[in-house]
Amino acid sequence: MAQTAAARAELDRRGGELHERIAELVALCTPDALAAMPALGEPEVADWQQPPRYRHSLTVRGSRDPAVSPETLAAQVTAALTAAKWQVAAANTQNSAANRDESAGGLVVDGSSEGSQLRVRFSTTSTVVLYTGETPAIALTTPEPDRRPPARSADTVDPGHVLCYECAGTGWCPVCEGRGWIADERLGRRRCPECFDRRVCPICEGAGELAVARLSPVQRANYAHLPDGSK
């Protein structure tokens, strides 16, 4: 399977934008951490569905000036993200767009843009500021042709049989067309609800043909050239 260059370029563009955005926030809140900020590396596997998807992610840890409060910095982060046209998580405190996450003892600002997410967490019990971010997961390979070849054609149908009216001889499940999966907006793909991975046509069980002698009257109605019994 070949990586598609366009998808990789798009993933790296998103990664670059995320890296630039986090670098800006680090410079704003914890400039000492800027020098130790990792460069954009290789994307990692986000999930192993077929085709596998990849994302860039980034974690930076810094220490703020104890004289500047987390609330002040959180407001600056919110302003910087907004200026860069990132969406910032809805405010639930009165004077900033930051969320006070009591369970973790910190003040959190979440940003998102084009499916990329970042989070800045200010500890309220220490000077630690943690920046995390990840791009959306993007498939980098084209799906393998995973359909089996058509079972029958007009030339190869057995004597005394007709091509299956449901699958026209392919033997493929008509919902997933023999792939075993269907496209899903959220998951990329999901198991076929018709055949549950079996991939085969429910009428002919994958044979691609039906014995004329065993056709039911309803099935027979699909074949105008019968009932002479020939193919």
Contacts with Zn ion by CB under 5 A lie at: 164, 166-167, 173, 175-176, 192, 194-195, 201, 203-204
Identify which of 83, 117, 77, 116 has the alpha carbon closest to the alpha carbon of residue 97.
77
Q: What is the nearest approach in angstroms of Zn ion to the Cβ of residue 154?
A: 14
Q: What is the nearest approach in angstroms of Zn ion to the Cβ of residue 220?
A: 15
Tell me if residue 14 falls in helix, strand or coil: helix
Q: What is the nearest approach in angstroms of Zn ion to the Cβ of residue 199?
A: 6
- CB closer to Zn ion out of 130 and 168: 168
d(CA 77, CA 99): 12
Q: What is the nearest approach in angstroms of Zn ion to the Cβ of residue 53?
A: 22
Identify which of 60, 81, 64 has the alpha carbon closest to the alpha carbon of residue 73.
64
For residue 29, give the H/E element and its range. helix 5-29
- CB closer to Zn ion out of 40 and 154: 154
- CB closer to Zn ion out of 10 and 194: 194
d(CA 159, CA 5): 49
Contact 141, 125 (CB under 8 A): no
Q: What is the nearest approach in angstroms of Zn ion to the Cβ of residue 7?
A: 26
- Provide the 8-state DSSP code for 38: P
Question: Which residues 6+ apart lie within 8 Å of 134 measured at CB?
Answer: 18, 55, 56, 57, 58, 116, 117, 118
- CB closer to Zn ion out of 80 and 176: 176
Strand pairing partners for 61?
A: 130
- CB closer to Zn ion out of 120 and 204: 204
